[in-house]
Structure 1
């Protein structure tokens, strides 16, 4: 387990905002790729790195299109449609009902964001190997 220090408290990376932003970003990108290609693909490393500059705005932009992406993925039917439902549930769960930070991430937070993105995509790869191959 990876831990980080915040003052005197020790917490799990998985409990932090940057990690959750990375998870949300991965789910939004997965839905976008399902809609476009019928496959689940992670964001390219360059895109992930750019998103650490302002995850709030990038996720907000993707959220604006998520309904259309869900609809397109569901129209494909089969495993793509099933995956879209699960991913949409992830998006809802990872979008908390509170005001979010709009700032940039520092170097450590950026690493946590990337870890969240990678972990969420790994879960999708495990669940839908035929869509990620």
Structure 2
């Protein structure tokens, strides 16, 4: 059985006071502000988890994390990867990366491969 407790009662007094002030200034319910804060935190947490998966997880999990990430987050996920990891992930996506290319060239090739995989998946999904 789920516990049904209002979050407002679990907040420290100072945080609750600040929340009330913010709610009054923005003319929003405290619950709406809490929901927005939770959503922002979760977005950051999932982005951090994707960073960790892409950087140190298995190659298949890195491919999955990149393909399932928001399109605008792809570059930030890829830019801190070492060159050899970019080559491995690109190869797993069916690209043919040349290790002699620059880091920027390999990054672009990986991003293009991720976008192609997303397009392929959405096309396959649309046919279902």
Q: Pick the structure with greater CA Rg.
A: 2
Task: Kindly indicate which of the two structures has a greater share of residues assigned to helix.
Answer: 2
**TM-score, length of structure 2 as denominator length:** 0.29
**Which protein has greater RCO, CA pairs closer than 8 Å, 6+ apart?**
1
